[in-house]
């Protein structure tokens, strides 16, 4: 059985058929929708607020000026528009397009830009959603914990460190641990294009040290300084920015 693990789809439905064609099972480590593509300034936020206001707000956020970024983008909200309802509407449209092309049997978790409740409500029966849990695949025991880490953005997908620690520990011993966020190691969290450190998952480091899985798979950082690393004998792998390159990480087993 050939398993392909991908992450950070960000709405790139056109790349999914080719990726799925060469494998028996697809595993998706979150960020299914495109809220904001920093390369092109496309996505849900620019659709609502416009590209220039969103680009300026993104620049403020990169400087850690989160309050100013929030105030700036609010000034450009269309008058009388229910922003949350519009975001949910556009996100639902993107989820529908993604689910339409994901092959039957795909295993999905959520990333930091996903909206977990909305994702669950739209999920077809042909796709398995794993928020926290284990399963057997290709002769290995897999464990997945979805979600982002806590940031000043306060996104609905974010979890506190103690929540991540509890969920990870509930997995027990596994061969593969899959998360959206990387372990909080500088060279895995630094984005060389954005020129900044992305958040990382601190409890994941402790989990790996204690349970020693063969692989730790993750995404989130689109252009990492290092795509792979080690904690003890555990191989750490950023499975790639699927929206940009359409690739992923593969494993073949019994």
Determine the pLDDT at residue 83: 86
CA geometry: angle 55, 39, 95, nearest 5 deg: 95
| Closest among 77, 149, 167 to 113, alpha carbons compared | 149
pTM of the full predicted structure? 0.93
DSSP character string of 39-85: TTTBSHHHHHH-HHHHHHHHHHHHTT-HHHHHHHHHHTSPTT--HHH
8 Å CB contact between 17 and 246: no
Query: Which CATH number describes the domain made up of 2-32+105-252?
Result: 3.60.21.10
Whole-angstrom Cα distance, residue 222 to residue 8? Answer: 8
Q: What is the pLDDT of residues 121-165, one digit of tens each?
A: 999 999 999 999 999 999 999 999 999 999 988 899 999 999 999
> Could you identify the residue written with the tokens 């959603």?
129
| Closest among 196, 185, 164, 202 to 238, alpha carbons compared | 185
CB environment 190-217: b (16+ within 10 A), e (fewer): bbeeeeeebbbbebbbbbbeebebebbb
pLDDT values of the chain reduced to their tens digit, one per residue, 254 residues:
999 999 999 999 999 999 999 899 999 999 999 998 877 878 998 889 888 988 888 888 878 888 888 888 888 888 888 888 999 999 999 999 999 999 999 999 999 999 999 999 999 999 999 999 999 999 999 999 999 999 988 899 999 999 999 999 999 999 999 999 999 999 999 999 888 899 999 999 999 999 999 999 999 999 999 999 999 999 999 999 999 999 999 999 97
Whole-angstrom Cα distance, residue 73 to residue 78? Answer: 10
8 Å CB contact between 171 and 177: yes
Q: Provide the 8-state DSSP code for 37.
A: B
Please give the C-alpha separations between residue 80 and each of 18, 53, 232, in angstroms, as whole numbers. Answer: 42, 18, 55
What is the CA 114 to chain-centroid distance, rounded?
8
Domain ranges of the chain: 2-32+105-252
CA geometry: angle 143, 169, 156, nearest 5 deg: 75
């Amino acid at each position: 059985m050939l398993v392909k693990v991908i992450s950070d789809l960000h709405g790139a439905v056109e790349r999914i058929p080719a990726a799925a064609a060469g494998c028996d099972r697809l595993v998706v480590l979150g960020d299914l929708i495109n809220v904001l593509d920093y390369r092109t300034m496309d996505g849900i936020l620019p659709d609502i607020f416009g590209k220039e206001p969103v680009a300026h707000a993104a620049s403020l956020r990169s400087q850690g000026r989160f309050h100013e970024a929030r105030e700036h983008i609010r000034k450009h909200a269309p008058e009388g528009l229910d922003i949350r309802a519009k975001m949910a509407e556009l996100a639902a449209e993107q989820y529908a397009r993604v689910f339409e092309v994901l092959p039957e049997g795909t295993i999905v978790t959520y990333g930091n830009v996903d909206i977990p409740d909305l994702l669950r409500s739209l999920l077809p029966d042909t796709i398995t959603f794993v928020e926290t849990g284990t399963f057997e695949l290709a002769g290995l025991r897999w464990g997945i914990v979805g979600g982002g880490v806590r940031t000043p953005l306060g996104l609905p997908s974010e979890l506190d460190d103690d929540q991540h620690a509890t969920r990870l520990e509930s997995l027990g011993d596994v061969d593969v641990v899959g998360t959206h966020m990387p372990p909080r190691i500088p060279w895995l969290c630094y984005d060389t294009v954005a020129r900044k450190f992305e958040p990382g998952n601190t409890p994941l480091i402790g989990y790996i040290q204690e349970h020693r899985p063969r692989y730790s798979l993750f995404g989130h950082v689109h252009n990492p300084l290092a795509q792979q690393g080690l904690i003890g004998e555990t191989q750490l792998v950023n499975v790639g920015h699927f929206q940009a390159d359409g690739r992923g990480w593969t494993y073949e087993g019994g």
